[in-house]
A and B are shown apart, each in its own frame.
Chain A
Amino acid sequence: MRAWLWHQLDSLVTTLARFGRAPIVMLLNIGVIGIALALPVGLYVALDNLQGVVRTLASDPQLSVFLAPDAGPADAAKIEARLKQHAAVRDVRYVPRDQALKELKASTGLADVVDSLPSNPLPDAFVVQPRGAAPEALERLRDEVSGWPKVTHVQLDAAWARRLEAGLKVARLVVWLLATLFAFALVAVTFNTIRLQILTRREEIEVSKLIGATDSFIRRPFLYFGALQGLAGGVAAWAIIWAGLQLLNHGLADLSRLYATQIELRHLSLEDSASLLLFSAGLGWFGAWLSVDQHLARIEPR
């Protein structure tokens, strides 16, 4: 058992020594793998962030009911009563035009613009919380309410979010397709690296076979090499994404100060990071295994 462990360690050390022997080639390989992985994973992170936003919006749909500018308090009271009695409505909040203007002034930082207006351009409005979130029911409610007198427009606030979510599903599929393609690229890169290594170490392999090395003994350093290269590529991809997000968040900080909201992109979660590294190491191992399987059998001592 100890000898076996020693041997594993030995293979690992040999492998690391091989990394050190051609550092430029290694760095380029790791870079290629890192970039290939960073593309789908970066897209995944972007989608993940977007999805977080969309989810909160889509799970909490609202209808904004805007009244005609000439509607008086009596009209408003009538519509409010009608909305409150409606079976599909859970809650109604009345937003008088003056209050809407005040909110606009306070929340958007457009006070100067608002002050310069000669009169309040905003209509009275109701914010309606519907009972369900099914898109069809919401649309029916919107169509119904917009037919009422003194109602000019009904806005289904979450409609765009739902459409976006459907779009995100397609985008997710694209991510998976890309991930598959780039995983293939990773395997191909490893395959080729290992092929070249086997060719340059031909003599060593031959002599090892000659003096009684088993195939698994010969294979092991190459497999380790593939796995380590894949892992390093995964780390590179992670670093690329981290740096990218860092830059974006830096830019977004200015933006969110302008809009007085908190916008920040989330990095890969611990689980996602772990699976990225595991996945890249596994693919490297697989590429190496394919290559060794292909090329090792052809080297027989004579």
Chain B
Amino acid sequence: MISFSQVTKRYPGGLEALRQVSLTIGAGEMVFVTGPSGAGKSTLLKLMAALERPSSGSVIVNGQNVAALRPRAVPFLRRKFGLIFQDQKLLFDRTAFDNVMLPLAITGFERREAARRVRAALDKVGLLAKEKSYPVRLSGGEQQRLAIARAIVHRPAILLADEPTGNLDTAYAAEIGELFRSFNQVGVTVVIATHDEALAARLKPRLIALKSGRVAA
């Protein structure tokens, strides 16, 4: 489903975030990308969703070479993913419901069906009762769950999460972990960049360890 071959990413200024990385992630896998800060975990995820372009090598997602993608095609690639960030990137001027609606609005979903799906996604993360709340009124854990609802509402085949439990306490982190496990169980490919060892111990995923931009194990 996702394969990297000889991927190097050099940022302007000379920082080499990834060096000659080759890896393959199959459909339906759950993979944790681990490693210390600055090892290149975020860069790896960004390359998958075409948020960054590799300096050399190729990134293949669903048979498409992301590096060679025309700018016009990038939005359509991104719709295959559900993206979750450490800083949830929620929109604070709209309700939980409208935040989750955004991906469906973008793809031009029929209104009633979209509303049904939004409620289903909110229900899945346990926020259905708070659909009219604005994100500021939600706790940190709830905000992260809202971000997850937004990432899954359009039923993507791949879920990418960058430090999803980064600033949550253990109880919340465990909840989030369970959510990811449930998505994976219904066939969604889940790729999580994290250094949360407790989470890894619980979910027992395949681990890809990065160290200074290289795959260590």
Q: Given the known inter-chain contacts A211-B83, A212-B79, please indicate yes or no for A2 contacting B102, CB distance below 8 A.
A: no
- What's the interface size class on A, roughly? 20 to 34
The docked-state distance in angstroms from the alpha carbon of A275 to that of B74 is 40
Contact of B91 among A204, A212, A215, A302 (CB under 8 A): A204
The docked-state distance in angstroms from the alpha carbon of A10 to that of B89 is 22
The docked-state distance in angstroms from the alpha carbon of A208 to that of B75 is 10
The reply on A7 being an interface residue by CB < 8 A is yes
Q: Is the CB of A211 within 8 A of B78?
A: yes
The reply on A210 being an interface residue by CB < 8 A is yes
Chain B residues proximal to chain A, CB less than 8 Å? 51, 72, 75-79, 81, 83, 89, 91, 93, 102-103, 105-111, 150
- Residue ID in chain A nearest B80 by CB atoms: A212
Task: Give the dominant DSSP class at B's interface.
Answer: helix
Q: Which residues of B contact A206 (CB under 8 A)?
A: 89
Interface residues in A1-57 by Cβ distance below 8 A to B read 2-4, 6-7, 10
The docked-state distance in angstroms from the alpha carbon of A209 to that of B111 is 21
For B72, B103, B110, B150, the residue with the greatest tally of chain A CB atoms inside 10 Å of its CB is B103
Task: Give the dominant DSSP class at A's interface.
Answer: helix
Q: Is the CB of B150 within 8 A of A211?
A: yes
The docked-state distance in angstroms from the alpha carbon of A208 to that of B107 is 11
Q: Is the CB of B111 within 8 A of A212?
A: no
Interface residues in A250-299 by Cβ distance below 8 A to B read none
The docked-state distance in angstroms from the alpha carbon of A217 to that of B104 is 12
The docked-state distance in angstroms from the alpha carbon of A208 to that of B83 is 12
Q: Which residues of B contact A208 (CB under 8 A)?
A: 102, 106
Contact of A211 among B93, B102, B110 (CB under 8 A): B102
The docked-state distance in angstroms from the alpha carbon of A22 to that of B81 is 35
The docked-state distance in angstroms from the alpha carbon of A215 to that of B110 is 20
The docked-state distance in angstroms from the alpha carbon of A3 to that of B147 is 25
The reply on A71 being an interface residue by CB < 8 A is no
Q: Is the CB of B83 within 8 A of A210?
A: yes
Contact of A213 among B72, B91, B106 (CB under 8 A): B106
Q: Which residues of B contact A3 (CB under 8 A)?
A: 108-110
Q: Which residues of A contact B91 (CB under 8 A)?
A: 203-204, 207
Q: Is the CB of A6 within 8 A of B111?
A: yes
Q: Which residues of B contact A69 (CB under 8 A)?
A: none
Q: Which residues of B contact A135 (CB under 8 A)?
A: none
The reply on A214 being an interface residue by CB < 8 A is yes
Q: Is the CB of A7 within 8 A of B108?
A: yes
Q: Given the known inter-chain contacts A7-B105, A204-B91, please indicate yes or no for A210 contacting B110, CB distance below 8 A.
A: no
| A to B CB contacts below 8 Å, 6 in the list | A204-B93, A207-B102, A208-B106, A210-B83, A211-B83, A211-B106
Q: Which residues of A contact B93 (CB under 8 A)?
A: 204
The docked-state distance in angstroms from the alpha carbon of A204 to that of B83 is 15
- Residue ID in chain B nearest A21 by CB atoms: B93
- Residue ID in chain B nearest A8 by CB atoms: B108
Q: Is the CB of A212 within 8 A of B108?
A: no
Q: Is the CB of A211 within 8 A of B111?
A: no
For B78, B81, B93, B106, the residue with the greatest tally of chain A CB atoms inside 10 Å of its CB is B106
- Residue ID in chain A nearest B46 by CB atoms: A302
Q: Is the CB of A217 within 8 A of B106?
A: yes
How far apart are A190's CB and chain B's nearest CB, in angstroms? 23
Interface residues in A179-229 by Cβ distance below 8 A to B read 203-204, 206-215, 217
- Residue ID in chain B nearest A9 by CB atoms: B111
The docked-state distance in angstroms from the alpha carbon of A147 to that of B72 is 83
Q: Given the known inter-chain contacts A6-B111, A203-B91, please indicate yes or no for A210 contacting B106, CB distance below 8 A.
A: no
Interface residues in A98-151 by Cβ distance below 8 A to B read none
Q: Is the CB of B109 within 8 A of A211?
A: no
Please give 14 more A-B residue pairs, beta carbons under 8 A apart, in addition to A4-B108, A210-B78, A212-B81.
A2-B110, A6-B108, A7-B108, A206-B89, A207-B91, A208-B106, A209-B75, A211-B102, A211-B106, A211-B150, A212-B77, A212-B79, A212-B103, A213-B75
The reply on A301 being an interface residue by CB < 8 A is yes
